[in-house]
């Protein structure tokens, strides 16, 4: 077992190196939480490519985000080239001192970024337990991979308690587009509350590298300076502005993803895998007692189906959404074969 | 005079806010050193958009760069989302202690990044004068905006002296594609020598945000870890791999840019502007005695022509290349009008 599969999804090149080429049908990549249906990306303006991404491109994207997500005027918005691009900077720009509390299970990038900056990092199932102690608290809502949810109310209470203690609450809403009721975006701009959003997962365009951060200007401003003037590509900003403003497509995508997720549930439960949680962009399941997730992972990978195992959860597997009936049929057949193996 | 024009080129939105809309012909942007002819960017593979930029995309780009620029096997190559994306990280990854010496005149991003990391920054016309004293030396070769050149030999001697003292020599070859004889890329991988390259300027695609760093693995490795797995977009990597491997186009582009630069020289000298230096991607000129560069800048901007003035050089203006005869005619007419103003 090589490291990349346990560290993040989408590592098809590593899968090919480890398991060989699955033949003409290619890999079925269910190892990420990325929508299998992409926002139409053709017909971008020429200048998105041939000019430096000027401030008007960024402003158009920010304006679309503000309108789509009902951001209050007091919140500042910073476009970023994907979440990874900002995580390493957060500890460097006037971050509160004190302990850093991150969710476990949870996307590892948070803990790694704070640890790389020399900060003491605690992992908790519910990081909100330390709200009011200051320092930095990170919540992923809904959680990846567990799907655990925190109500907007509980997050706002925690943010206030953190702010009163001079601390931050960072809410990573990377999968938040499919759970609008949980979002605290409408309250962003409050002291101590930072909200992170991913673009590529919901819109099915992770190759673009696009996301954004919303928070109080006194936090966002120094981060923007640090990122410099051209941190996000022209194609990403131009397409992002168009997609965020496309309410009809977004509503349709939410319905499509919900339908695909329910159909995935059927495939998984018929294979004897028990749902542990998830979002409409991925599902987390438990493999049957007496079997190991890594064996299922390898059995599927041998058939060209890549899913997501975890280093510290022996019986958990995460599945992204198959986008078609053919993909579901292939997964069902793959699971049947992996199970008897 | 607002700040953006003195800080960097390409600030058309700021120019529009300051000088108004130039009408149907639009802005003629000569404020950057970006080629006015772009590498063909259509027909990118779907997966460049719809998948996370996997390691095979990065490897293909790195392979193309290695072959195109004759990099030795000992050198490590790191794709970056434009130069700005790496400057802020350089001070954070095992950089040598001691003074930091940057060129003046010279692109300000270097000094800003080191100063932001709390380092003492010295500015010199020839930063190589401190070679052998350790710490960090930054050279831009050819220099932007002066066009000053350092021979590859002098840089390699300086790099060895720096390495012997535990220091770094960073050679920023952002405009190096038009001056291949000056490049030290073929020697990258040596201890203490880091070489930075921009993609967008020569290939006319700055919207993509692409560049790369070549250096010894012990320096590049930690930077790569710090950037994380998806620092560069899929479209940038896919197009970059294709373009870097396209020797014929690159050679043709070099000839095209050289011709355009000579034609620009004619326009500038007929307007009484005296050449101070430059590269085949931009020219630096001196305005006539008794006149101020900012007045020329404003006179041109009032006609919708944006060029690049400098905060600390009262009589210097930088001009990017007009790409067509119509653009040159417009510039010539604009200069004539700005001069009598």
User: Residues B149-169: pLDDT tens digits?
Assistant: 999 999 999 999 999 999 999
Crossing angle for the helix pair A325-340 and A293-301, nearest 10 degrees? 120
- Minimum Cα–Cα distance from B53: chain A residue: A207
Please tell me the predicted confidence (pLDDT) of residue B2: 47
Q: Which of B52, B55, B208 sits opposite A32 (nearest CB)?
A: B52
What CA–CA distance (Å, rounded) separates A11 from A6?
10
Q: Which of B233, B236, B239, B240 should we substitute to test contact with A (largest number of A Cβ atoms within 10 Å)?
A: B233
When pLDDT is cut at 50, 70 and 90, the band that residue B341 belongs to is low
pLDDT digits (tens, 9 = 90+) for B277-307: 999 999 999 999 999 999 999 999 999 999 9
What CA–CA distance (Å, rounded) separates A24 from A14?
18
Task: Centre a 10 Å sphere on the Cβ of residue B337 and count the other Cβ atoms it contains.
Answer: 14
- B chain contacts of residue A230, beta-carbon cutoff 8 Å: 82, 84, 206, 209
pLDDT digits (tens, 9 = 90+) for B78-123: 999 998 889 989 998 899 999 999 999 999 999 999 999 999 999 9
- B chain contacts of residue A119, beta-carbon cutoff 8 Å: none
pLDDT digits (tens, 9 = 90+) for B260-270: 999 999 999 99
- Say if pTM beats, i.e. exceeds, 0.90: yes
Matching residue, tokens 């926002």: A39
Q: Which of B52, B204, B231 sits opposite A85 (nearest CB)?
A: B231
Chain B closest-CA separation from residue A133 CA (Å):
28
- B chain contacts of residue A29, beta-carbon cutoff 8 Å: 51
Q: Does residue B340 carry a pLDDT above 70?
A: no
Please tell me the predicted confidence (pLDDT) of residue A341: 54
Structure-derived torsion over alpha carbons of residues B134, B136, B140, B144, reported in degrees to the nearest 10:
-130
- A chain contacts of residue B47, beta-carbon cutoff 8 Å: 207
Three-class DSSP category at B188? coil
Q: Are A85 and A209 in contact (CB under 8 A)?
A: yes
Mapping DSSP onto H, E and C, the string for B274-339 reads EEEEEECCEEEEECCCCCCHHHHHHHHHCCCEECEEECCEEEEEEEECCCCHHHHHHHHHHHHHHH
| Cα–Cα–Cα angle for B198, B201, B206, rounded to 5 degrees | 90
* Ramachandran class of B145: left when φ > 0, alpha when ψ lies in -120 to 50, beta otherwise: alpha
Please tell me the predicted confidence (pLDDT) of residue A73: 97
Please tell me the predicted confidence (pLDDT) of residue B3: 56
CB contact under 8 A, B55 and A204: no
Q: Which two tokens stand for residue B40?
A: 């063909």
Please tell me the predicted confidence (pLDDT) of residue A6: 73
pLDDT mean by block of 10 residues, chain A; 341 residues: 68 91 94 97 93 94 98 98 91 94 95 94 97 98 97 98 98 97 97 97 97 97 91 97 98 98 98 97 97 95 96 94 98 92 54
CB contact under 8 A, B235 and A235: yes
- Strands of A136-140's sheet in order across: A76-80, A211-215, A193-198, A168-173, A136-140, A100-103, A121-124
- Minimum Cα–Cα distance from A9: chain B residue: B52
CB contact under 8 A, A52 and B14: no
Q: Which of A9, A28, A50 should we substitute to test contact with B (largest number of B Cβ atoms within 10 Å)?
A: A50
Taking CA atoms, B267 is separated from A7, A325, B168, B309, B319, in Å, by 57, 63, 41, 18, 11
Please tell me the predicted confidence (pLDDT) of residue B31: 96
Matching residue, tokens 């350089």: B90
| Continuous H helices in chain B | 4-7, 12-19, 46-50, 55-69, 84-87, 109-116, 152-164, 200-203, 217-227, 234-244, 247-270, 293-301, 325-340
B191: burial class by Cβ within 10 Å (0-12, 13-18, 19+)? Answer: middle
- Minimum Cα–Cα distance from B210: chain A residue: A233
Q: Does residue B188 carry a pLDDT above 90?
A: yes
- B chain contacts of residue A81, beta-carbon cutoff 8 Å: 81, 85, 209, 231, 233
Its sign, for the CA torsion B277, B280, B281, B282, is positive
- A chain contacts of residue B85, beta-carbon cutoff 8 Å: 81, 85, 228, 231
Q: Which two tokens stand for residue A299?
A: 């059995």
**Rg over CA atoms, chain A:** 20
Q: Does residue B56 carry a pLDDT above 80?
A: yes
Three-class DSSP category at A235? helix
Please tell me the predicted confidence (pLDDT) of residue A10: 82
B189 secondary structure, DSSP code: T
Taking CA atoms, A323 is separated from A34, A260, A267, B256, in Å, by 10, 7, 13, 46
Q: Which two tokens stand for residue A182?
A: 């949980």
Q: Is the peptide bond before A142 cis (omega within 30 degrees of 0)?
A: yes
Q: Is the peptide bond before A339 cis (omega within 30 degrees of 0)?
A: no
């Amino acid at each position: 077992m090589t490291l990349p599969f346990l560290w993040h999804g989408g590592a098809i090149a590593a899968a090919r190196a480890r398991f060989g080429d699955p033949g003409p049908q290619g890999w079925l990549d269910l190892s990420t939480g990325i929508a299998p249906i992409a926002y139409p990306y053709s017909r971008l303006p020429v200048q998105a490519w041939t000019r430096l991404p000027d401030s008007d491109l960024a402003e158009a994207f920010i304006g679309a985000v503000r309108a789509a997500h009902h951001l209050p005027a007091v919140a500042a918005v910073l476009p970023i080239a994907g979440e990874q691009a900002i995580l390493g900077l957060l500890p460097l720009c006037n971050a509160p001192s004190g302990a850093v509390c991150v969710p476990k299970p949870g996307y590892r990038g948070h803990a790694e970024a704070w640890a790389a900056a020399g900060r003491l990092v605690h992992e908790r199932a519910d990081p909100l337990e330390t709200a009011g102690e200051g320092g930095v608290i990170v919540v992923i809502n809904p959680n990846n991979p567990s799907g655990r949810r925190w109500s907007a109310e509980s997050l706002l209470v925690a943010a206030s308690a953190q702010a009163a203690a001079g601390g931050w609450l960072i809410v990573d809403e990377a999968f938040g587009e499919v759970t609008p009721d949980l979002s605290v975006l409408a309250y962003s701009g409050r002291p101590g509350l930072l909200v992170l959003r991913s673009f590529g997962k919901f819109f099915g365009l992770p190759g673009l590298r696009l996301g954004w951060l919303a928070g109080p200007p006194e936090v966002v401003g120094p981060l923007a300076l640090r990122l410099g003037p051209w941190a996000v590509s022209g194609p990403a900003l131009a397409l992002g502005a168009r997609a965020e403003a496309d309410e009809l497509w977004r509503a349709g995508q939410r319905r499509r993803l919900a339908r695909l997720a329910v159909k995935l549930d059927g495939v998984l439960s018929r294979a004897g895998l028990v749902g542990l949680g998830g979002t409409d962009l991925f599902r987390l399941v438990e493999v049957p007692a007496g079997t190991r997730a890594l064996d299922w992972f390898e059995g599927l990978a041998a058939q060209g189906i890549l899913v997501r195992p975890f280093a510290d959860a022996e019986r958990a597997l995460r599945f992204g959404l198959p986008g078609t009936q053919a993909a579901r049929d292939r997964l069902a057949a793959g699971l049947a074969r992996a199970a008897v193996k």
